[in-house]
Amino acid sequence: MSKSLCSSDRPIFLIGYMASGKTTLGRALAAATGRRFIDLDEYIESSVGKTISRIFADDGEASFRETESRSLAELIRNADGRESIIIACGGGTPCFGDNMTVMNRAGLTVRLNAPQEVIIRRLIAERSARPLVAKLADGGELETYVAENLRRREPHYSLAAESFDSSRLETESEIADSVRLFIEKYFRS
């Protein structure tokens, strides 16, 4: 068993690179555990009234990151023991401001890991919804960007309390298996 078992009143923060499976696993975990699921990017889009892509285009990444940090703090403050939540953070959330410190203090941070090939395949399938990679070409440009970006973000991701293999989230059966393993590893009986 993990040393960082999650009590029912503390948030679980799923962190990791784009397309590591945070939203997919988070939704399935919420359904299986009765926790409320919040995708931080969707929360921001709803609050601001713009898509993440539009926020990046209109206001720039720095403005988005400020909004992201404020939104994260707001979600933590609003939950504060009143409800059990699972938050799927954006891929860059842990890398800006003091977001990792805030999340580690408030709840359980779990880094989702998937091999780079899996991430690339997932990014290609959903590229249009990913402003940071939408215009990168397959066959080198995308792969180089992902490798370099993962290397830069590693020091931040490594601050997570726990790590979980998220490479098997392609089918309903794989998702169910991953949820079962996650619950066995991180939830109190």
Quote the pLDDT of residue 1. Answer: 37
- Asked whether the predicted pLDDT for residue 127 surpasses 90, the reply is no
Query: Average pLDDT of 117-124?
Result: 90
Task: Give the DSSP H or E segment for 30.
Answer: helix 22-33
In sequence order, which residues have a C-beta less than 8 Å from that of residue 122 and are 6 or more positions away? 19, 21, 114
Say what the pTM is.
0.91
In the numeric block, which tokens belong to residue 2? 């993990």
- Entry field: residues in the chain: 189
Task: Give the DSSP H or E segment for 113.
Answer: strand 108-113
Write out pLDDT tens, residues 38-85. 999 999 999 999 998 889 889 998 999 999 999 999 999 988 767 789
Query: Can you tell me the distance from the alpha carbon of 140 to that of 161, in angstroms, rounded to the nearest whole number?
Result: 33
CA dihedral 97, 101, 107, 112 (to 10 degrees): 70
Q: What is the number of other CB atoms lying within 10 angstroms of the CB of residue 11?
A: 23
Quote the pLDDT of residue 4. Answer: 55
Q: What is the number of other CB atoms lying within 10 angstroms of the CB of residue 15?
A: 28
Write out pLDDT tens, residues 147-181. 999 999 999 999 999 999 999 999 999 999 999 99
Architecture (CATH level 2) of domain 12-181:
3-Layer(aba) Sandwich (3.40)
For the chain, the structural domain boundaries read 12-181
